[in-house]
Amino acid sequence: MNYHNNQYMVMAEGFMSRVYAWMTAGLCVTASVAYYLSPTVNHDLFMQLTPYIMVFGLFQLGIVFYFSMAWKSLSSTSLAALFLVYSALMGVTLSPLAYMYTGESIFQIFLLAAAMFGVMAIYGSVTKSDLSSMSNILLMGLLGIIFAQFINIFWQNAQFDIITSCIGVGLFAVLTAYDVQKLRNFGAQAVASQDDIDKIALLGALTLYLDIINLFLYLIRLFGKKKD
């Protein structure tokens, strides 16, 4: 029994190492692009791209849907390229944060988001509780917060924005633990070709990447220090 448990643990750790490696690569690409396009580094280029931020956001949405729907038919190389393109586009859409918030604040909030992500990832890795039972609740929460944010685009209520941001932090913290446990379970029991495992590792990397990015975005709305 111990032999099989150790074998499953080794398989899970190997799979999760790939997931975290790709997630980290995506975050590095995003941070590099966002820094390069920030108004303090390339002001003219930033001003030229600003009117098209919404277009880049729509491209991102399209890539996520395509990535999620077509991953089985695409090669792992194609998925890796899509993931890196998505990460770069995220850097473009996040670049205006440097115009709104101080650089020190952005750095501190990202460290906070990374710390929260790390704590919840560890919890998802070690907990004996079956978090899969929360899937419907988390899905409803995700849809609810998307709807609430859409409503607030027109309502523009500051207090409502604070409430949704607090809920968003809690939601994506729990989603991190849920996603990590789900991915570890797959890694421990995977019976698939190496290419399929690589593709699912990329799908997992995108999932965790979105968890930490959303944690960061909700936290900076709550605690970010805006420029004067």
Q: Which residues contact 82 (CB under 8 A, 6 or more apart)?
A: 63, 66, 67, 74
Query: Angle between the 194-223 and 103-126 helix axes, to the nearest 10 degrees?
Result: 130
Q: What's the distance, CA 155 to chain centroid?
A: 27
Rounded distance between C-alpha atoms, residue 190 and residue 197, angstroms: 8
How many other β-carbons are positioned within 10 Å of the β-carbon of residue 100? 14
- HSE value, Cβ hemisphere, 13 Å, CA-based, for 88: 6
pLDDT attached to residue 219: 97
**Which pTM value belongs to this model?**
0.90
Beta bridge partners of 226: 101
In eight-state DSSP terms, residue 38 is S
Q: What are the respective helix, strand and coil percentages of the chain, to the nearest 5?
A: 85, 0, 15
Contacting residues for 69 by C-beta, under 8 A, at least 6 apart:
none
- CA-wise closest residue to 124 among 36, 3, 208: 208
Q: How confident is the model at residue 11 (pLDDT cuts 50, 70, 90)?
A: low
Q: Helix, strand, or coil here: 144?
A: helix
Q: Where are the alpha helices (DSSP H) in 37-52?
A: 43-49
pLDDT at 15 over 80: yes
Task: Please report, rounded to a whole number, the percentage of residues in the chain having pLDDT higher than 70.
Answer: 93
Structure confidence by residue, pLDDT tens digits, 93-126? 999 998 899 999 999 999 999 999 999 999 999 9
What pLDDT shows up at residue 201? Answer: 92
Q: What are phi and psi of 35, to 5 degrees?
A: -70, -45
- Rounded to an integer, what distance in angstroms lies between the CA atom of residue 144 and that of residue 141? 5
- pLDDT, averaged across the chain: 89
Closest listed residue to residue 170, CA positions, set 210, 207, 214: 214
Digit-coded pLDDT (tens) for 33-88? 999 998 888 888 888 888 888 899 899 999 999 998 998 899 999 999 999 999 99
